[in-house]
Amino acid sequence: MARKSLNSLTALGDSETSPAPTPAPPALPAPAPEPEETAATVVAPATPRTPRTPAKKRPTSASDGGAAETAVKGVPVHLTEELNERLQAYMARKRWSHQTVLLDAIEATYTRLPALIDEATHAEEEPVERTSLFDRPARPVHTATGEARVKHTVRMTDSNRKILDDITEQLGAPSRNFLITVAYEAYLPPIEKS
């Protein structure tokens, strides 16, 4: 491409006239490629990105057309400061994202979760034997202990969020956060104090 002089565009008050730039020869139009060549040669520009965490390959079902689902919503997770320290230490040591640790914690403790949830929800109750005569609502949600909490928002796909909600309902956990907290308590190793 020919360079053009910009002197004619600036009003610097030069009394000298610069020679007129020579016009560039007209460009010849490129011949139109045949349709077969276009389909074979069009390549999307690649954006090199390296994932920070090792991705687990999940089989795609025919119903989703094989397309990967992206994380669009955040799942709020409120952790005690002690549990947050354990989580941060584990994430730093493994170099995993919070989402990866959360999903691994649920999967690793899934078979024990019913007992863990039952133990956590009934730990403060006195065993009372009674005959159930009334249609009562479900047990109240676990009340806060008054400890300071750290809030995280974990990005998650809609399908994984729905699975978490289904597990919460199946296991009778008072809330999704309670389920996650119980899984973390069982999954995350204690911090070694030296």
- Cα(179)–Cα(116) distance, integer angstroms: 9
Amino acid 60: pLDDT: 46
**Please, which residues have CB within 8 angstroms of residue 189's CB and are 6 or more apart in sequence?**
86, 90
- What does each of the 194 residues of the chain score in pLDDT, given as a tens digit? 566 666 665 555 455 555 555 666 556 555 555 544 434 434 444 444 444 444 444 444 444 445 667 767 899 999 999 999 999 999 999 999 999 999 999 999 999 999 999 998 876 555 567 677 777 766 555 555 667 889 999 999 999 999 999 999 999 999 999 999 999 999 999 988 76
Residue 180 has which token pair?
């996650």
Tell me the pTM. 0.56
